[in-house]
Amino acid sequence: MILKVPLRRLHEVYDDLTGTHASEPLCFDREIDLDSVDGQQWNALMRYFCEQLAHPSPLSMPKVRMTEEAMMRHLPCAQSMSVREHFSGQPAALAPRHLRRAREFMEAGLQQEISLKDIADHCGVSIRSLSRAFQSCYALSPMQVLRTLRLDRIRAELRRGASDASVSEVALHWGCSHLGRFAAAYRARFGEASQQPS
Protein backbone atom coordinates (compact mmCIF):
# COMPACT_ATOMS: atom_id res chain seq x y z
CA MET A 1 0.00 0.00 0.00
CA ILE A 2 1.26 3.48 -0.89
CA LEU A 3 -0.09 6.45 1.03
CA LYS A 4 0.37 9.79 -0.72
CA VAL A 5 0.31 12.82 1.59
CA PRO A 6 0.22 16.31 0.00
CA LEU A 7 3.03 18.48 1.32
CA ARG A 8 0.73 21.51 1.36
CA ARG A 9 -1.63 19.64 3.67
CA LEU A 10 1.19 18.75 6.06
CA HIS A 11 2.14 22.42 6.28
CA GLU A 12 -1.49 23.33 7.00
CA VAL A 13 -1.60 20.75 9.80
CA TYR A 14 1.72 22.02 11.22
CA ASP A 15 0.41 25.60 11.21
CA ASP A 16 -2.81 24.50 12.91
CA LEU A 17 -1.05 22.36 15.54
CA THR A 18 1.61 24.91 16.47
CA GLY A 19 -0.12 28.22 15.73
CA THR A 20 2.95 29.27 13.75
CA HIS A 21 4.23 28.98 10.21
CA ALA A 22 7.24 26.72 9.58
CA SER A 23 10.31 28.85 8.83
CA GLU A 24 12.15 25.94 7.17
CA PRO A 25 11.22 22.63 5.51
CA LEU A 26 9.42 20.16 7.77
CA CYS A 27 11.64 17.25 8.82
CA PHE A 28 10.33 13.75 9.44
CA ASP A 29 11.68 10.46 10.70
CA ARG A 30 11.44 8.34 7.57
CA GLU A 31 10.83 5.06 9.38
CA ILE A 32 7.80 4.31 11.53
CA ASP A 33 8.51 1.96 14.41
CA LEU A 34 5.36 -0.17 14.34
CA ASP A 35 6.23 -1.68 17.74
CA SER A 36 6.11 1.73 19.44
CA VAL A 37 2.89 3.22 20.85
CA ASP A 38 2.79 5.77 18.02
CA GLY A 39 3.38 3.02 15.47
CA GLN A 40 0.59 0.85 16.87
CA GLN A 41 -1.78 3.82 16.83
CA TRP A 42 -0.83 4.56 13.21
CA ASN A 43 -1.44 0.91 12.32
CA ALA A 44 -4.87 1.00 13.98
CA LEU A 45 -5.84 4.15 12.06
CA MET A 46 -4.71 2.60 8.78
CA ARG A 47 -6.67 -0.60 9.44
CA TYR A 48 -9.82 1.34 10.32
CA PHE A 49 -9.40 3.52 7.21
CA CYS A 50 -9.01 0.49 4.94
CA GLU A 51 -11.94 -1.35 6.54
CA GLN A 52 -14.27 1.57 5.82
CA LEU A 53 -13.20 1.58 2.17
CA ALA A 54 -13.49 -2.22 1.88
CA HIS A 55 -17.00 -2.38 3.40
CA PRO A 56 -18.91 0.66 2.11
CA SER A 57 -22.05 1.78 3.89
CA PRO A 58 -24.05 5.03 4.05
CA LEU A 59 -21.72 6.21 6.84
CA SER A 60 -18.46 4.96 5.31
CA MET A 61 -17.40 8.21 3.63
CA PRO A 62 -17.91 10.40 6.73
CA LYS A 63 -15.86 7.83 8.67
CA VAL A 64 -13.18 7.83 5.98
CA ARG A 65 -12.92 11.64 6.09
CA MET A 66 -12.77 11.59 9.91
CA THR A 67 -10.02 8.94 9.87
CA GLU A 68 -8.11 10.78 7.16
CA GLU A 69 -8.08 13.90 9.33
CA ALA A 70 -6.90 11.87 12.36
CA MET A 71 -4.10 10.34 10.26
CA MET A 72 -3.03 13.75 8.97
CA ARG A 73 -2.67 14.97 12.57
CA HIS A 74 -1.13 11.80 13.93
CA LEU A 75 1.64 11.70 11.31
CA PRO A 76 3.28 15.05 12.23
CA CYS A 77 2.77 14.49 15.97
CA ALA A 78 4.41 11.04 15.83
CA GLN A 79 7.02 11.45 13.10
CA SER A 80 7.89 15.13 12.64
CA MET A 81 11.05 16.37 14.32
CA SER A 82 9.88 19.90 13.48
CA VAL A 83 6.74 19.46 15.59
CA ARG A 84 8.69 17.90 18.48
CA GLU A 85 11.17 20.78 18.42
CA HIS A 86 8.32 23.31 18.54
CA PHE A 87 6.59 21.80 21.57
CA SER A 88 9.72 20.86 23.53
CA GLY A 89 11.57 24.10 22.85
CA GLN A 90 14.64 21.95 22.23
CA PRO A 91 16.03 20.48 19.03
CA ALA A 92 14.78 16.94 18.58
CA ALA A 93 17.42 14.30 19.16
CA LEU A 94 18.63 12.83 15.91
CA ALA A 95 18.18 9.08 15.89
CA PRO A 96 21.43 7.08 15.89
CA ARG A 97 20.48 5.63 12.51
CA HIS A 98 20.59 9.16 11.01
CA LEU A 99 24.09 9.69 12.40
CA ARG A 100 25.13 6.31 10.97
CA ARG A 101 23.63 7.22 7.60
CA ALA A 102 25.50 10.53 7.66
CA ARG A 103 28.83 8.84 8.49
CA GLU A 104 28.31 6.15 5.84
CA PHE A 105 27.41 8.79 3.24
CA MET A 106 30.52 10.82 4.07
CA GLU A 107 32.82 7.79 4.05
CA ALA A 108 31.45 6.67 0.68
CA GLY A 109 31.99 10.12 -0.82
CA LEU A 110 35.34 11.21 0.58
CA GLN A 111 36.75 11.60 -2.92
CA GLN A 112 33.90 13.85 -4.06
CA GLU A 113 32.73 17.32 -3.13
CA ILE A 114 30.13 16.99 -0.36
CA SER A 115 28.19 19.90 1.10
CA LEU A 116 26.38 20.13 4.42
CA LYS A 117 23.11 20.22 2.47
CA ASP A 118 24.07 17.02 0.63
CA ILE A 119 24.52 15.20 3.95
CA ALA A 120 21.30 16.55 5.46
CA ASP A 121 19.30 15.73 2.32
CA HIS A 122 20.68 12.19 2.26
CA CYS A 123 19.59 11.66 5.88
CA GLY A 124 16.23 13.36 5.43
CA VAL A 125 16.79 15.90 8.21
CA SER A 126 17.31 19.63 8.43
CA ILE A 127 20.80 21.14 8.40
CA ARG A 128 20.16 22.56 11.88
CA SER A 129 19.13 19.19 13.34
CA LEU A 130 22.09 17.48 11.70
CA SER A 131 24.57 20.05 12.97
CA ARG A 132 23.23 19.96 16.53
CA ALA A 133 23.29 16.15 16.58
CA PHE A 134 26.93 16.08 15.45
CA GLN A 135 27.88 18.68 18.06
CA SER A 136 26.10 16.64 20.74
CA CYS A 137 27.66 13.32 19.70
CA TYR A 138 31.12 14.29 18.45
CA ALA A 139 31.59 17.90 19.66
CA LEU A 140 32.32 18.66 16.01
CA SER A 141 30.34 19.96 13.06
CA PRO A 142 29.47 17.54 10.22
CA MET A 143 32.05 19.22 7.98
CA GLN A 144 34.74 18.92 10.68
CA VAL A 145 33.97 15.20 10.94
CA LEU A 146 34.20 14.94 7.15
CA ARG A 147 37.59 16.65 7.19
CA THR A 148 38.79 14.34 9.97
CA LEU A 149 37.74 11.27 7.98
CA ARG A 150 39.67 12.57 4.97
CA LEU A 151 42.77 13.34 7.01
CA ASP A 152 42.74 9.85 8.51
CA ARG A 153 42.52 8.27 5.05
CA ILE A 154 45.34 10.46 3.75
CA ARG A 155 47.61 9.65 6.69
CA ALA A 156 46.92 5.92 6.35
CA GLU A 157 47.82 6.03 2.65
CA LEU A 158 50.96 8.08 3.25
CA ARG A 159 52.13 5.73 6.02
CA ARG A 160 51.60 2.70 3.80
CA GLY A 161 53.69 4.28 1.07
CA ALA A 162 51.79 2.09 -1.37
CA SER A 163 52.06 4.45 -4.34
CA ASP A 164 54.45 6.91 -5.92
CA ALA A 165 51.90 9.72 -5.64
CA SER A 166 53.02 12.94 -3.99
CA VAL A 167 51.47 14.21 -0.76
CA SER A 168 49.54 16.78 -2.78
CA GLU A 169 48.20 14.13 -5.13
CA VAL A 170 47.09 11.93 -2.24
CA ALA A 171 45.38 14.90 -0.57
CA LEU A 172 43.58 15.84 -3.78
CA HIS A 173 42.57 12.21 -4.32
CA TRP A 174 40.79 12.22 -0.94
CA GLY A 175 38.91 15.47 -1.54
CA CYS A 176 41.22 18.04 0.05
CA SER A 177 41.26 20.64 -2.71
CA HIS A 178 42.82 23.51 -0.71
CA LEU A 179 46.37 22.31 -0.06
CA GLY A 180 47.32 25.14 2.29
CA ARG A 181 44.39 24.39 4.58
CA PHE A 182 45.08 20.68 4.29
CA ALA A 183 48.68 21.07 5.50
CA ALA A 184 47.60 23.13 8.51
CA ALA A 185 44.76 20.75 9.39
CA TYR A 186 47.06 17.72 9.06
CA ARG A 187 49.63 19.22 11.42
CA ALA A 188 46.91 20.24 13.90
CA ARG A 189 45.45 16.72 13.94
CA PHE A 190 48.62 14.62 13.95
CA GLY A 191 51.27 17.01 15.31
CA GLU A 192 53.51 16.50 12.30
CA ALA A 193 53.89 17.65 8.74
CA SER A 194 52.33 15.58 6.00
CA GLN A 195 55.05 13.64 4.17
CA GLN A 196 55.79 10.36 2.49
CA PRO A 197 57.76 7.84 4.63
CA SER A 198 61.48 7.97 3.93
Is pLDDT of 197 > 60?
Answer: no
Identify the pLDDT of residue 159: 82
C-alpha distances (whole Å) from 190 to each of 80, 153, 154, 184, 187 are: 41, 13, 11, 10, 5
Identify the pLDDT of residue 181: 84
**Span 53-66, pLDDT tens digits:** 898 888 888 999 99
Mean pLDDT of the chain: 84
- Lowest mean pLDDT of 35-49, 118-132, 160-174, 177-191, name the range: 160-174
Identify the pLDDT of residue 92: 58
Cβ atoms within 10 Å, residue 68? 14
Q: Tell me the Ramachandran region of residue 80: left when phi exceeds 0, alpha when psi lies from -120 to 50, beta otherwise.
A: beta
pTM as predicted: 0.52
Cβ atoms within 10 Å, residue 195? 10
Is pLDDT of 105 > 90?
Answer: yes
Closest C-alpha among 161, 151, 136 to residue 186: 151
Between 175 and 52, name the one with better pLDDT.
52
**Span 132-148, pLDDT tens digits:** 888 877 778 999 989 88
**Span 6-53, pLDDT tens digits:** 888 888 998 888 888 876 667 777 778 888 899 999 999 999 999 998
- Please, which pLDDT band fits residue 163 given cuts at 50, 70 and 90? low
Identify the pLDDT of residue 69: 92
H/E run at residue 128: helix 127-138
